[in-house]
Structure 1
């Protein structure tokens, strides 16, 4: 055995990015919908897949309201796919009813963005669905998760904090 000491690795903080973006928002973004016939099953109850579509629409509009346009991200070579999704159905919504889809950023850590979502009656007396969605930044050309958020996304989110 050699008496030489092992080289010391730098602490994790020394190799971490200069600034890790971490954020949480308290304010909900609201997106209104009205149940149309094509949203429902044969009984006039909203089909479960429709809730996913509405959550996606609300989240995309929320990001657009912050200056993050999905079409522009794609043109720049990035996208933000859903990597995890969970929903809890509390009450069904019927044909002709209105609902408010609320979404907000729960947490941003590195290139991962976690969103909360809720669907409520317009008077907030009834909660229809609650859930969580996780996105991650991916480089389209390489097909790999990015090390950092695209500058367009990072800058818009920094303004949010």
Structure 2
């Protein structure tokens, strides 16, 4: 199972008055991790979108454990939690500079045609992605 590590320095604009990261910013960090994972597998979201296929979020769940603070370096760990050929679930763990887990969670995605939002088979439309996801998904 491939797990990528994305490093982010917490910027002032991402925090509240107490210097704690505002909760919605973790969603952005998960997207950064997801994009890096896909690139590590050798692919690009932009190429998929240019071919008329989108991968919208169908569900997201984050659990907050500890704060990340202004000025800290955080690490976003990202992996493929599950893959069915149509739906992809990415897993996330975000750790602060001390190594404490700040957030755990997952996001579910489907691949759909841009013009109709009808689901497509990744195996049929993107066989290379399918093989990479099968090889790198979390083992049960």
State TM-score, norm by structure 2: 0.88
* Aligned length, in residue pairs: 134
- Give the aligned partner of residue 110 of structure 1: 85
List alignment gaps of at least 5 residues for structure 2.
none
Distance 1:160 1:139 in 2: 24
List alignment gaps of at least 5 residues for structure 1.
1-24
Offset, 1:57: 0.8
- Give the aligned partner of residue 13 of structure 1: none
Distance 1:123 1:49 in 2: 22
State which structure, 1 or 2, has the greater radius of gyration over its C-alpha atoms: 1
What aligned pairs does 1:1-161 form with structure 2 within 5 A after superposition? Answer: 25=1, 27-122=2-97, 124=99, 126-146=100-120, 148-149=121-122, 150-151=125-126, 152-158=128-134, 160=136
Q: CA RMSD in A?
A: 1.6
Pick closer, same or farther for the CA change 1:28–1:160 going to 2, 3 Å. closer
Listed one character per residue, the Cα deviations across residues 117-144 of structure 1 (whole Å, up to 9, x for unaligned) are 00113453x1100001111111112221
